[in-house]
Every structure is written in structure tokens, then in C-alpha cells.
Amino acid sequence: MKKLITLITCAAMIMCLAGCGKTASGTAQAGVLVMATNAEFPPYEYHEGSAIVGIDAEIAAAIAEKMGCELQIEDIAFDAIIPEVTSGKADMGMAGMTVTEERMENVDFSTTYAIARQVVIVAEGSGITSLADLEGKTIGVQQGTTGDIYASEEFGDDHIERYAKGMEAVQALSQGKIDAVIIDNEPAKVFITENEGLIILDEAYADEEYAIAVKKGNTVLLDQINKALEELKADGTLDAIVAKYISAE
Amino acid sequence: MKNDYSQSPLISVRDLQKSFGDHKVLNGITVDIAKGDVVCVIGPSGSGKSTFLRCLNRLDEPTGGEIIFDGVNICDPSTDIDLHRQKMGMVFQQFNLFPHMNILRNLTIAPMALQKKSKEEAEGYAMELLERVGLANRAKDYPLQLSGGQQQRIAIVRALCMKPEVMLFDEPTSALDPEMVGEVLEVMKELASEHMTMVVVTHEMGFAREVASRVMFLDGGDFLEENAPEEFFSNPQNDRLRDFLSKVL
Amino acid sequence: MWEDFKSQFILNFVDDGRWHYLANGLLVTLKLTFFSVLLGLVLGFCIAMIRNIHDNTGKLKIPNFLCNLYLTVIRGTPVVVQLMIIYFVIFGSVRIDKVLTAILAFGINSGAYQAEIFRSGIQSIPKGQMEAGRSLGFSYLETMTRIIMPQAVKNVVPTLLNEVITLLKETSIAGYIALEDLTKGGDIIRSRTYSAFMPLIAVALIYLVMVRLLEFAAKKVERRLKKNEK
């Protein structure tokens, strides 16, 4: 019995300490870096065929490569990403996630790897031309996104409709069910090319920075990610990935 | 004086046929039933005697022949059978009282709804009849609180409340415990003594011998013999009837 | 431990008045359940009648066909898909009240199940009851409404209350059309506080309490209905 306990304890310690490959990485599972994302957010992450692709997916792959790990992407609801990370089911959350104070209470964030803005999509000729016109209108958001949180605070819960997917919010907008959608700039651009009659307001709703979330206190992993990001920035990989998905304006 | 052939018959059955699919149950039955007649129908099981009775008020739809009741061919599709059924009371083997209504309601629902009797009138008459079958004290009870014999007496009263011109009995004592048969037959005897026209499908040979004005023998869907009870039982002509009587008497 | 629990509780339910998400959500859930059951009751009753009349008299061929089609489609597809079809396809380009949409979807769904409940209720009444009614001179419809249905309804009340309980829990998918019911209310809190435990357990507890209350009511009603028959 005692031997068994010792054995289990040893095994547990090895699991905890062992990194992926030969380096100590702080990932939950040896050799694998599990990334939680919500693959409904082009061009950052979306499904193409059976694979999940996009800016985040490629950056994550590059980071994993630097760490000598195999990348495993889990597609879950956006508002489940942080719980997934805090519970240790995923090593990191990467989903066009903006750094906010509340999120920082629950997870640690890496350095910023992209700048994004929240924009407003409206129907052409809707009469909404500026942020001021949004007052009293019904606004669709993707539940749990920064757009949701900011807009809920600013316009009040009664004026916000929270969809599980950004795509559904945009669909509701193009069907005339709601007046506007607040969402990140890059997916917004994709959505308006796919849905006729929708435009993005010139005035941005908010500017924000995307970063990678890891479990609070997992400095081992955080340092590795930051180091990898720094190298990727320095050698131009990061810019190349972004340029591949986002054509210059 | 039970037989009164001076009038035209109350029910005149002409070449009545009934089949269920390919299976022929009645092969052309012709018989007249006069006002005041008490006709007992006997025969082995499967002889078609119950079907014959149920065809008389079209609970089973005849497939051929005609039934003239009160001068009207009730087999004619243009006849309002519901109207004629009001004049033909029926008593079932399984009583079929309405379990969700109390006794009094069981007795008054049809007179009030179909004959537009006032509540007072319908209840007055129902109580009068209940009194005569000795069940006036059970008026507020529900059917399932009563014994089988009591329920069957109530079922007879329910039919009588419509003041029918003829009463059809479909093996009224077959589902009863032996000790309850007597009380039901007693009520039927009393009815016969008041010159109610009755058609009774029964296995009670004693009742048939004592009360019937005529006894009919059916076997295999054929109407084989008919006679006054004395002759019928003591001097049967048909071989199959002789055979049947030798088994049941 | 206790302190941790307390601070989590405050974070999830007290801060920013977050309990409102649950309270308002509960109200929506109750509204959805109540009106969907009513709609389902009407639909189910009518369908059961049509099918029964058809089975017994051979009339109403076309309505009966439509009823069968409806039952096949509704019982053969998940309710969440039906809900989205009604919201995004049938009311594709209309601005329609979401609660109304959801009531339609859940009501139409429940109608199919309630139709079967009524039908089995009608079939559970012995044939002799119909014959007794008809032999007194009542028409088919009169016998149905005066004699068969009152007994059938009585028989199916317990099953119907079960359907209410099922429906109450099924409405938890209303969030798919961005309707903020109880479940979605909990989800919104989760998306704000990033804690899974408190909001989910609270939502589960509220459902559980409501289901237990309904079960309690069902038992009472059942006992009352049985009283008259013994």
C-alpha cells in the first residue's frame, strides 16, 4: 500500500515537473500544448475543412514549435475559455482575447501580440452613422466578448442581445432583428464581405490589445510564451502571419 | 297477453347480413318483433347472437338487409341513427356506466342533453326508477363504489330514463358473480311484466323459459328455429338446437 | 474556505447586481414554460381529436395526414434545431419578439408530445364507454366531449405535468436565439466573472426547486382526481 502511494506521488510529481520534450514548460500534459479557443472568429481562428486555422492558430503553432511541443487546439464557447484555463484543462487561452482588468483577476496574460479594435456593424442606410446614434438601439454581441462587456455597461442589458457566435449576431442584423453588432474589427471585415448590405462605422467603438491567457501563477509557461513571442516578433514571423490573413488596408 | 300481432311489428328485420372482412357473421336473418314481445336469443358462443343484437341499433353496422323500426328503415344512410337510438335502450355485459359521474348524473345526462328535459324533471324520473330498483340511497355515489349487480341495475335504469320503446340486453348477467344474477333478472322480469318490448341475448335458460314470449336460436350466423318457450325447450325441431340444449340444460 | 465561498458569492451574485440576470432569466423561463404548455395543450388536444376521429370514422383524411406529418417532423428533430429554424428561417427577415418566437417553437414542439399523451389517454378509455354513449343517442362528437374526454383528461393529467417538467428543462436552450432565460442568465454571469461553480450550481438549484414544486403539485392534483373513483 505504502509503495503504491509512493508510486502515485512520484508519478504525480513527474507529471507536474516534466516539460514537453526536454524543457520544463509547465504544461499539464507532457509534450502537448493545449490551446483553448472559440473558432468562430475569423481571421483569428476559424474552421477550414477539418482544421482550425487563423492568425491565433498559426502563432500558437509557432510558439509550440519554439517550445518543442505539439499543439492541440480545443474549440469551445468563448466564455468557457478562461474557466478552461483556470481549471487546467487547457494550458493557454488564445482567441482574440482582449486584456481586461476582470480577466486579469482570473488569469495571467502574455505580452500583447496584436492590436485590435472593436467596431460597429450596421445595415446600409440604417441611419446609424456614429456611436452616438447607438443610444436606445438594440445591439448584438458575441456573449462574453469585450464588445459584450463594454456595450452592456454603456447601453444597458435591455439593449444588448448576446449570441453564442458572432456569426449569429451578424445574421440577426442582416435579417433586421437587431440594429447593430459590436465586434472585433478583423472578423467584422470578413462578415461584411460575406453579408451584403452591411457596413462598418468609420468611428471605432474601442481599441484593445490581444494577449494569451495562462493559468494564474504559471510563470514557467508564461515566460516561455513571452520568450517565444519576442523571438517571433524579432524574426518577422508574427508580421508575416498577420499579413497572410489580413491584406493591407 | 303478451303477443299483440294486431299491430304492425315494432321492429322488422329483413335479410340482415353482417360480415367482418371476409368473415360472415350473420347470413340473412329475417324476423319480426312486435310491441310487447320479449324475445330471448340463445345460441352457442360465436353464433352471431350478440352481433345480431348490436346490429339492431347499428352499434355494429349491418352489411346487408334492412331493419324497419317504427316504420323507418334505420339501415338507410340518410336516417339519423342517433335519434332512433334514443328510443332503443341498451344494456351491456360490462354495464358501461360512466365512472366520472355520480349515479344520478349517469341517469340524467342523456334525457337532459338529448330530450331537453329540465333538471328537476329528469332527476325526478330517475329517482322514481331508482326507488323501484331499490337503489335510491345510492344516487350520489359513483359507479365504482357499487357492486356489479347494483351497477347493472343502474345501467338498466339509465336506459329506461330515455323512455325507450324497446330494450336491448346483451348478455346482461354474464359478467356478474352468481349471487348477483338474481337481482338483475328480477328487474328484467318486472320490466317484462309491464309489457316493455325486450330483445335479450342470454345464457339464462331459466329466464328464457319463464319470461320470454318467444325464443330464437342462432347458430353459425343462421336463424335456425323460433318458438314459444314451452315448445322451444320441450320439443326442439332442429338437430343443432337439440344438441345445444342437451349441453346447456 | 468560508471566506473564499463568501467572496465568490458576492462576486457572482451581488456585485453589479448580477443576481438580476438570474431573477430576470427565471421570469423568462417561467413565462416560456407556461405559455408553451398552453399552446401545446391546444395543439395536442386538436391533433389527438383529429387523429381519433379519423381512426374511428375514416373522415378528415387530409387534416389527419397533416397531423401525422407534423408529428413525424417534430418528434424526429431536436428541439434546438426547431427553435433556430423558427427564429432564423421562418421569421428570417422579421423583427419578432424573441419570447414569442420561443413560445411558438416550444409550444409547437410540446404539442406533438401532448398529442400523443392525449391520444393514449383516449385509447385508455374502454370501448364500452363510447358504445354506451352512442347507444343512448349521443353523436360521436357529443360522446367524445361529454364522456370520453373528461375521463381521458383525468387519466393524462399526471403525464401532462411530467411534460411540463420536461418542457421547463428544455427551455434552457432558449439562449441559442440570444433569449436571456435562466440558463443564459447564469452564462452571462459566468462570462463576466469567469467562475463556473457558483453560477452553474445556482442555476441548477433553481431548476431543481422548480421541478420539485411541480412534482409536489402533480401529486396533489393526482390524489384529488382519484378521490371520486373509489
**DSSP per-residue letters across chain A:** -HHHHHHHHHHHHHHHH--STTS----SBTTEEEEEE-SEETTTEEEETTEEESHHHHHHHHHHHHHT-EEEEEE--GGGHHHHHHTTSSSEE-SSPBP-HHHHHHEEE----EEEEEEEEEETTSS--SGGGGTTS-EEEETTSHHHHHHHHHH-GGGEEEESSHHHHHHHHHTTSSSEEEEEHHHHHHHHHHSTTEEE-SS-SEEEEE--EEETT-HHHHHHHHHHHHHHHHTTHHHHHHHHHS---
- Given a contact cutoff of 8 angstroms between Cβ atoms, the answer to whether A119 and A193 are in contact is no
Model-level pTM?
A: 0.74
Give contacts of B86 with chain C, Cβ < 8 Å.
136-137
Q: Give the C-alpha separation, B69 to B64, whole Å.
A: 16
Report how far residue C61's alpha carbon sits from residue C38's, in angstroms, rounded to the nearest whole number. Answer: 26
C98 Ramachandran zone, left/alpha/beta (phi>0; psi -120 to 50): alpha
In whole angstroms, give the CA distance from residue C192 to residue A143.
10
How do A45-48 and A40-41 pair as beta strands?
antiparallel
Q: Which chains touch A (3 or more CB pairs under 8 A)?
A: C
Q: Write the single-letter amino acid at B114.
A: L
Name the 3-class secondary structure at B164. Answer: coil
Strand partners, B167: B89, B198
Count the neighbouring beta carbons within 10 Å of the beta carbon of residue C112. 22
Q: Is C178 part of the contact surface with chain A (CB cutoff 8 Å)?
A: yes
Question: How far apart (Å, rounded) are the C-alpha atoms in residues A229 and A32?
Answer: 18
Element (H, E) at C128: helix C127-136
Cβ contact A79–C94 (<8 Å): no
How far off is chain C from A239, nearest CA to CA, in Å? 31
Q: pLDDT at residue B1 above 50?
A: no
- Asked if C178 and A168 come within 8 Å (Cβ–Cβ), the reply is yes
CA-based R_g, chain C, Å: 22
Can chain A be said to touch chain C, i.e. do they have 3 or more Cβ pairs within 8 angstroms?
Answer: yes
Q: Is-contact B167 B191, C-beta < 8 A?
A: yes
pLDDT given at position A28 = 64
Residue C93: closest C-alpha in chain A: A175
How much of chain C exceeds pLDDT 90, in percent? 65
Category of C137 on φ-ψ map: left (φ > 0), alpha (ψ -120 to 50) or beta: left
pLDDT interval class at C222 (50, 70, 90): confident
Give residue A23's pLDDT: 42
How far is A58 from chain C, CA to nearest CA, in Å?
A: 26
B96 → closest Cβ in C131, C154, C230: C131
Residue A174 contacts residue A105 (beta carbons within 8 Å):
no
Closest residue by Cα to residue A113 from A36, A227, A209, A231: A209
* A43 upstream amide cis, omega within 30 of 0: yes
Kindly identify which residue of chain B lies nearest to residue C134, measuring between CA atoms. B82
- Specify the pairing of strand B166-170 against strand B197-201: parallel
Task: Provide the sign of the torsion angle of the four alpha carbons C131, C133, C139, C141, taken in this order.
Answer: negative
Q: What is the CB-side half-sphere exposure of residue A130 using CA atoms within 13 A? A: 1
Place of cell 468611428: A203
In this complex, which of B83, B113, B142 lies closest to C229 when CB atoms are compared? B142
CA distance A220 to A91: 11
Q: Which residue of C has its CA nearest to A139?
A: C178
Of the listed ranges A22-31, A57-66, B136-145, C84-93, the least confidently predicted one is A22-31
- Say what the pLDDT of residue A1 is: 52
H/E stretch holding B217:
strand B214-219
More confident residue, C155 or B4: C155
Mean pLDDT of successive 10-residue segments in chain A (249 residues)? 54 44 55 91 86 93 93 90 90 92 92 90 92 93 90 91 91 92 91 91 90 94 94 92 74
Nearest CA in chain C to A166: C178
Contact in structure between A34 and A19 (CB atoms under 8 Å): no
Using the beta-carbon criterion (under 8 Å), do C187 and A107 form an inter-chain contact?
no
Please report the pLDDT score of residue A17 as a whole number: 41
Query: What are the tens digits of pLDDT across the range B155-169?
Result: 999 999 999 999 999
Residue B232 reports pLDDT greater than 70:
yes
C-beta atoms of B92 and C132 within 8 A: yes
pLDDT above 80: residue C94: no
Q: Cα–Cα–Cα angle for A128, A135, C97, nearest 5°?
A: 90
Chain B residue numbers with beta carbons less than 8 Å from the beta carbon of C133 are: 98
CB contact under 8 A, B99 and C138: no
Integer Cα distance of B82 and A222 in angstroms: 87
Among the partner residues B82, B92, B114, nearest to C131 by beta-carbon distance: B92
DSSP assignment of B228-247 equals -HHHHHHS--SHHHHHHHHH
Mutation target to probe the A interface, by most A beta carbons within 10 A, among C100, C187, C194, C198 is C194
d(CA A166, CA C167): 28
Tens of pLDDT, residue by residue over C32-79, are 999 999 999 999 999 999 998 898 888 899 999 999 999 999 999 999
The set of residues, in sequence order, having a beta carbon less than 8 Å from that of A174 and lying 6+ positions away, is: A123, A195, A197, A198
Pick from C95, C191, C195: CB nearest A176: C95
Residue whose cell numbers read 359478467: B175
pLDDT of B138 strictly over 70: yes
Q: Calculate how close chain B gets to C146, using CA atoms only, in Å.
A: 9
ipTM, two decimals = 0.90
- Reported confidence tier of residue B234, pLDDT bands at 50, 70, 90: very high
In the prediction, which pLDDT does A194 show?
Answer: 87
Contact B86 C142 (CB under 8 A): no
CB A114 within 8 A of CB A242: yes
- Cβ(C171)–Cβ(C29) under 8 Å? yes
* pLDDT score recorded for residue A21: 38
Q: Does B110 touch chain C (CB under 8 A)?
A: yes
- Mutation target for C interface from A40, A175, A182: give the one with most C CBs within 10 A: A175
Mean pLDDT for chain B overall: 93
A162 strand-pairing partners: A141
Mean pLDDT for the stretch of residues B191-215: 94
Shortest Cα distance from B133 to chain C (angstroms)?
20
Spatial contact of A119 and A235, defined as CB atoms under 8 Å apart = no
Q: Which of A143, A149, A177 sits opposite C95 (nearest CB)?
A: A177
* pLDDT band, very low/low/confident/very high, at C12 (cuts 50, 70, 90): confident
- B98 in C contact zone (CB under 8 Å): yes
Quick one: pLDDT at residue A6? 57
Q: Using the 8-state DSSP alphabet, how is residue B18 labeled?
A: E
